[in-house]
Structure 1
Amino acid sequence: MHTILPFLLAMVAVIVLLNMWANKLKIAYPILLVIGGLLISFIPGLPTVKIDPDLIFFIFLPPLLFEASWSVSFKEMRKWWRIIGSFAFLVVFFTALSVAVVTNHFIPGFSIALGFLLGGIVSPPDAVSTGAITKFVKIPKSTSAILEGESLLNDASSLIIFRFALVAIGSGQFIWHQAALSFLWMIIGGTAVGLIVAWLFVRAHKLLPTDASSDIALTLIEPYFMYWIAEQLECSGVLAVVSGGLYMSARQLVFLNSSSRIQGFSFWESFIFILNGIVFLIIGLELPEIVDGLKVEGTSFGTAIGYGVLVTAVLILSRMISSYAAMVSTMIFRPSVAPGRGSMRNRLLLPLMLGWTGMRGVVSLAAALAIPITLNGEPFPHRNLILFITFVAILLTLVIQGLTLPYLINRWHLFDSFINEEAEEATRREMKRGLKQHVFEFLKKKQETELKDHAGLELFMRHWEEKSKASDDSWMNEQTKAIFIEMLEVQRAYLTELNKDPKINEEIIRTQLYQIDLEEERIKSI
């Protein structure tokens, strides 16, 4: 323990330093973390990093998926559900199938079942990597929503393939009708479990006298409960966490107060950053042990690298083919939502860029490490080779695609015609104008019906009518605070109703809601 604890603390320090360096260089921090972990692994005397395969999913996946489901715009997901669904299920299956066929043909002793296992591991792109990389460039909200929505669902579909492949390898057979029924139960059961558990926790938040600290503690255990219960019922724990997280995110204004939302946002941002950093460092730290395992299996280092490069090429090509297929399908069956702006060159290059966003990361590593060490009393076939290929795929997609994606987007000006900053600014101004008018009408009605000649309320009226600020807070008594907080609730209700407009960018609404939370906390502290 005295050896591991300083090592873990040093890992967190390295994560922070590498993140600062990555921000200075304007590159995605997962790239530096993977490379940093690889370099650190060669330092002699470091403790060996070993993670129990049975715990890897349970430790890392639930909180990562839960936080992602709170961040994504459900309104945008509904808008683009067709392409999100196709990328999350059809493209993942197509990619896994491609990997299975290629590896079965080129890697000696690699069965179709092992190929599907590897395909399920490496098929889902990583949301964290994509988000970290695209934050340095401007991309359309529609593209961002597609990538975020896809990343939430493709983890579930890839892990379902992973589970079925493990069963086929262990039993030596695959019964299609049983697999189909199991697949339906995993999807329907996982979604139902997530919604039911989320509903129970929402009720608990509302009925129990919780404060910000207890609310945050509850949100920390919620994804683990959703995942564990679903897995006990042999359905998809990933879908349970995603569906439950989306349900709770849409209702956070109902069961969380402003203190819980503000403090919870800061806590989860830091917690997920550290969790992601540890996983990406582990990717690099695990490599030396994997290479030693390759020697035991009798696979040379150069041959293993060749296999990794081959699988990575299959991943990239499969995603690009799928992107162009999606564009053609959209133009044929849904021409109203097909990209209509920009030159023909840009419209043809857009699927290429979408295909180039397939960086692999956390989920692929977690799935690879979750492969059992033994199977039916014998060492799991080609386990270390699968781990090595996964590492190569993560490293190559992060470094090659991650470093070139921002450059290509800026160099080719792909999204210039799709990003209308003036329209977004106009929407923001219109929203704030509507808020001011809404609040002024509320205060005017309040003054006329309840609080005539109230000094604090008159000051509110002057503030909103003339946009002036009081010089001090001495006028803010308890009655005035109550009115002010009620006024903030009116603003939240207005924004919630405004968000139903499909033309309004939900990110603008969320930013304004956060500002209202901050204002409520400021008033409470007076």
Structure 2
Amino acid sequence: MHTILPFLLAMIAAIVLLNMWATKLKIAYPILLVVAGLLISFIPGLPRVKVDPDLIFFIFLPPLLFEASWTISFKEMKKWWRIIGSFAFLVVFFTALSVALVTNYYIPGFTIALGFLLGGIVSPPDAVSTGAIMKFVKIPKSTSAILEGESLLNDASSLIIFRFALVAVGSGQFVWQEAAMSFLWMVIGGAGIGLLLAWAFVEAHKRLPTDAPSDISLTLIEPYFMYWVAEQLHCSGVLAVVSGGLFMSTRRLVFLNSASRIQGYSVWESFVFILNGIVFLIIGLELPEIVEGMRDKGIPLSTAIGYGVLVTGVLIAARVISSYAAMLATIIFRPSVASRVGLRTRSLAMPLLLGWTGMRGVVSLAAALAIPITLDNGAAFPYRNLILFITFVAILLTLLVQGLTLPYIIKRWRLFDSFTDEDSEELTRQKMKQGLKQHVYQFLKNKYEQELSGHAGMEKFLRQWEERAKAADDSWMTEKTKVIFVEVLESQRQYLAELNKDPRIDEEIIRQQLYQIDLEEERLKII
């Protein structure tokens, strides 16, 4: 323990330094992480970090999926549910099928079941990688919402394929009737258990005398509990976490106070950042053993690299083909939508862009590492090391090739030079602030008209909202005005919650303003 602990601390320090370097270079930090994982494999004498495959999913997936569910806009998901659903389910299955057929044909002894297992691992694009890359380019909110929604749901669909393929490899058979019933139970049961537990957690937060540290601590263990309960009942733990996370996210104003929301945002951002980095570095530490295992099975390194390049090409081609198929289907069956999102004028560029955003990442790594070392009968799991190596190559190539070229493609082709999201966002923000100002003024006039009349402090308080000017000092902030101020802030939250029901307003703008209100409430506590 005394030898491994300094090494683990050094890993975290390396992750932080790599993120700083990536920010300076203006590239996505997962690109440097995967390269660092590769370079680590060449360093001799490093301790071997062994993680039980049965614990990989349980350690890494619940918090990663839960955090993604909280950051995504459920309203935007509902708006673009058709294309998100097609990419999250149909495209994932098409990609897994393509990988299964190609690997079964080109890799000697690689069965269809193993092909689907590999396909389930490498089919989901990574939300973290895509989001990190998109920070350096401007894209429309609709495109961003589609990519975020797809990346959340395709993890669930791909891991269901992974689970069924794992059973097929272990048993040597696949009964379609049983699989269909099991699939329905996994989907419906997983989503239902997630929603039920999420409701119970919300009620517990509301009824218990929690503070910010206890609220944050509970949110850290809740996704693990959702995942564990669903898996114990043979449902999809992934779907339980996703559905439960979405449910709790939409009710964050109900059961969390301002301090819990502000502090929780920073805690979760740091926690997920470290988890992502650790997974990338773990695969680097295991690469020497993976390569050695392949050589023992008679698979040369050059051959394995060729298989990895082949599978990566299949992944990219399958996603690009699916993007053009989705565009064609939209133009044929929903021409009004096609016209609204501009598919006719950018018929060639936009599907290629969506197809080129398929960077693989941490979920694929976690799934590959979760493959058991042996089968139930004690025999070694077939082609485990090769599957791990192909997964790493696919992640490395998609991050380097697609990740580094995507910003250039967007800028070079000027795909979004004419989009007006920035102007519309600023106009929306101005209208929202003007509406908040008018709302607060009316709220104070209606509820505290007598207190406002003839009271210098209260009149100054009103002018602060009416003129949006900060007072020179806080001497006017009495206990009475504090109470009113808190009521005003809560009234603003209710106003924004109603405003968020308008499908034309970007939820991210609403969340930014809610965050400012939370900060203002916390500032009151130290006055």
Q: How much has 1:339 moved relative to structure 2?
A: 4.9
In the TM superposition, 1:43-62 aligns within 5 A as 43-62=43-62
Amino acid in the other structure paired with 1:436: K
- How far has the Cα of 1:416 moved from its partner? 2.1
Residue in 2 aligned with 1:118?
118
Deviates more, 1:43-52 or 1:428-437: 43-52
Q: Which moved more, 1:463-472 or 1:55-64?
A: 463-472
Q: Which amino acid aligns with 1:195?
A: L
The worse-fitting range, judged by mean Cα deviation, of 73-82 and 413-422 is 413-422
Cα gap change, 1:310/1:161 in structure 2, threshold over 3 Å: closer, same or farther? same
The equivalent residue for 2:304 is 304
Deviations 1:259-312 (A, max 9, x none): 000000011111111111111222323222111111111101111111111010
- More moved, 446-455 vs 314-323: 446-455
In 1, distance between residues paired with 2:167 and 2:292?
Answer: 27
Q: Structure 1 residues 252, 169: CA separation in 2 closer, same or farther (over 3 Å shift)?
A: same
CA contact (8 A) 1:339 1:347 kept: no
How many Å apart are 1:333 and its aligned residue? 1.6
Cα deviation code 1:16-58 (max 9, x no counterpart):
1111110111101011011112212222211012211000000
Whether 1:447 aligns to 2:476 is: no
Output aligned runs, 1:14-413, within 5 Å.
Answer: 14-340=14-340, 346-375=346-375, 376-413=377-414
Moved more, 442-451 or 297-306: 442-451
Give unpaired runs (5+ residues) of structure 2: none
Cα distance change of structure 1 residues 422 and 502 upon mapping to structure 2, 3 Å threshold: same
Greater Cα offset, 456-465 or 5-14: 456-465
Confirm whether residue 478 of structure 1 aligns to residue 476 of structure 2.
Answer: no
* CA distance, structure 2, for counterparts of residue 22 and residue 130 of structure 1: 14
Q: Distance in 1 between matches of 2:444 and 2:47?
A: 64
Partner Cα distance (1:56, 1:439) in 2 = 50
Shift of 1:150: 0.8
| Corresponding residue of 1:7 | 7
Shift of the alpha carbon at 1:451?
5.7
CA contact (8 A) 1:342 1:418 kept: no
Aligned residue identity for 2:472: S
How many Å separate the matches in 2 of 1:86 and 1:450?
57
Deviations 1:366-422 (A, max 9, x none): 111111111121111111111111111011001111100011011111122334321
User: How do 1:457-476 and structure 2 match up within 5 A?
Assistant: 457-476=458-477
Q: Normalising by structure 1, report the TM-score.
A: 0.98
Contact 1:443–1:457 (Cα < 8 Å) also in 2: no
Aligned-partner residue type, residue 184 of structure 1: L
Letter in 1 for 2:28: A
User: 2:424 is matched with which residue?
Assistant: 423
Q: How far apart, CA to CA, are the structure 1 residues paired with 2:46 and 2:145? A: 41
Aligned structure 1 segments of 4 or more residues deviating by more than 4 angstroms: 339-345, 449-452
Contact 2:129/2:359 (<8 A) preserved? yes
Counterpart CA distance in 2 for 1:25 and 1:357 is 20
CA contact (8 A) 1:15 1:274 kept: yes
Distance 2:341 2:252 in 1: 36
Of the structure 1 ranges 417-426 and 472-481, higher mean CA displacement relative to structure 2 is found in: 417-426
The structural deviation recorded for 1:473 is: 1.1
- Aligned-pair CA distance for 1:465: 2.6
Q: What secondary structure is seen at the aligned counterpart in 1 of 2:200?
A: helix
Q: Higher mean Cα deviation, 445-454 or 484-493? A: 445-454
Q: Which amino acid aligns with 2:497?
A: T
Give 1:345 shift: 6.2
Unaligned runs of 5+ in 1: none
Task: Give the deviation of 1:456 after TM superposition.
Answer: 3.0
Distance 1:286 1:144 in 2: 34
* Matched-pair identity in %: 79
8 Å Cα contact 2:194-2:240 kept in structure 1: yes
Matched letter for residue 395 of structure 2? I
- AA paired with 2:476? W
CA contact (8 A) 2:192 2:240 kept: yes
- Whether the 8 Å CA contact 2:327–2:343 is kept in 1: the answer is no
Could you state the TM-score of these two structures normalised by the residue count of structure 2? 0.98
Q: Check the 8 A contact 2:121/2:159 in 1, yes or no.
A: yes
**CA offset digits 1:315-374 (Å, max 9, x no partner):** 000000100111111111222222546695633211001001001111111111111111
CA–CA separation in structure 2 for the residues paired with 1:523 and 1:14: 38
Alpha-carbon separation, structure 1, partners of 2:340 and 2:77: 20
**Cα gap change, 1:314/1:343 in structure 2, threshold over 3 Å: closer, same or farther?**
closer
2:108 counterpart SS class: coil
1:505 paired with 2:506, answer: yes
**CA displacement 1:122-141 (0-9 Å, x = unmatched):** 10111111111111101111
In the other structure, the counterpart of 2:519 is 518
Displacement of 1:468 after TM fit? 3.5
Residues 451 and 458 in structure 2, CA contact (< 8 A), matched pair in contact too: no
| Kept in 2: contact 1:88–1:150 (CA 8 A) | yes
- On the 8 A contact 2:338/2:344 being kept in 1, the answer is no
The more displaced of 127-136 and 336-345 is: 336-345
- CA deviations on 1:203-222 (whole Å, 9 max, x unpaired) are 11000000000000000000
Pairwise CA RMSD of aligned residues?
Answer: 1.3
**1:431-442 map, 5 Å:** 431-442=432-443
